[in-house]
Amino acid sequence: MSDVLALVEARLLTALGEPDARAAITFLGTDRIEVLRFAASDDAGDIVRYATLGMSAHPMTDPTASLADPLRGPRAELVLSVRAGRADTDKVLRPLAVLAASPQVEGLVVAPGASLDTGEPLWPGAPFTSVLVAESGGLVEDLELDAPLDPVRFLPLLPMTPNEAAWKRVQGAAALEERWLRHGTDLRDPLRAGVPLGD
């Protein structure tokens, strides 16, 4: 499915410009996952973006399905946006690759509203060990593929503190996003504190 990845990379470059760095990581028994870094531009201010490339090579399959369909099924790549210069966020490359490999490794279907846990800080000193998967279609438009292939969705990742992740498990993704919005939370701040959860 290298042709799919070529189209995915072209869509990323159209939306985000030329990457200024990229890293490739291969996990045992999985295809290679690349993470592309897009430096802050004049349009984005001080925002640096990281996008995976490789997750969409194969459709995600429900682990309860008796037979995996090699063509049909949701496809996605992950996109993380953070403010540059406030933390060593380039260390997020490996955790991002781990998350992107999770459909192949663990049989996960990554979809909006899901929580993904890395089990470690996203970067040194980060108050986040997990992310909330947000809806696609904003920063990078969905990429339509020829039938019968499903489109590739570029899913934004919103870092969560452990308390936010625990609260989200009980209250749901929509409630957490509404709370972030109500408190004016800067979800791109790599050093932000958790949103108040008691009021």
Q: Are 197 and 182 in contact (CB under 8 A)?
A: no
Regions of the chain where pLDDT drops below 70: 1-2, 40-45, 63-66, 68, 199
Tokens 């309860």 found at: 64
pLDDT for residue 147 = 87
The encoded tokens of residue 117 equal 């846990």
pLDDT for residue 39 = 86
Q: Strand pairing of 33-38 and 130-133?
A: unpaired
Counting every residue written for the chain, the total comes to 199
Whole-model pTM? 0.93
The encoded tokens of residue 168 equal 């989200």
Whole-number Å distance between alpha carbons of 166 and 76 = 25
- Give the start-to-end residue ranges of the domains of the chain: 2-182
Whole-number Å distance between alpha carbons of 96 and 50 = 8
pLDDT for residue 43 = 54
